[in-house]
Amino acid sequence: DWDDSDAVDDLTDAVLALAADTRSLPSGLGSLPSWLGSLPLGDAEGELRAADELLLPDAPLARILTADSPFGTVAKSVVDRYGASALRAIGVGWGFGVVTDDLPTGPDHDLDDEEDWWASRTDDPAELLAVRDLDLVNDGAWPNAISELASAPATHAAIRSADGYTAWWLRTHAVIDGEPLGSFRAPSDETFAGLLDAFDHPHADDVAPALAPASCDSAWFAQLVLDRLADPARTPTPAVVARAH
């Protein structure tokens, strides 16, 4: 009962005392059930909110999300009392969250445009590992967001599968300098050099599955290659032209 302040305090004390014993993060992060994110915690406005609806005060994610994102900030007094590690272990946000499902049966994980991704596949995924809340990233913050995604082990793992949700969403929705991320090539991929610009980012090769593929795997990408072949400002080599055709 969230209206019973004594009960809330007792429950919070008990859960976070145990959560503080998960010594190693992020491995400890994965050892606790996700429903602990429903634990009520005080936010910076003095209200109670579920733990997984809150960010730590200095979370890098807070600088990336839109101003109207649904996340609040956990009260500093709560952080001082229990420690950031225990709070992160039960779902208080620091970086991007990850959704996992070993036996997914449909697009029912509350992910942005999940139904479109599911429909784009030729078969159902054997498992789901996906970064959530990508649609909440501020349009101008994508370079920083990609750094965060590539740097954290859990989110980096979610990008590695080119046909996974995360790579698909980034390729089709993330916009850099007015262009979809999927229109840029990894610097190490010369397949369409001269037609596609290399992605100028320190983690470009780390997020290669979210960049342009090495073959025309969709009508959208085929159209992009054709448009670039017809662009007189582009100067691909004859080998790239032949390969593109």
Q: CB-based contacts of 141: which residues, under 8 Å, 6+ apart? A: 63, 64, 65
Residues 53, 41: Cα–Cα separation, whole Å: 10
At residue 173, the pLDDT reads: 97
Q: Which of 56, 85, 88 is closest to 73 using CA atoms?
A: 56
Q: Which of 151, 150, 152, 109 is closest to 129 using CA atoms?
A: 109
Q: Note whether 20 and 85 are within 8 A (CB).
A: yes
At residue 105, the pLDDT reads: 92
The pTM of this model reads 0.86
At residue 31, the pLDDT reads: 59
Low-confidence ranges of the chain (pLDDT < 70): 22-31
pLDDT digits (tens, 9 = 90+) for 17-58: 988 876 544 544 445 787 899 999 999 999 999 999 999 999
Q: Which of 184, 205, 182, 201 is closest to 193 using CA atoms?
A: 184
At residue 26, the pLDDT reads: 52
At residue 233, the pLDDT reads: 97
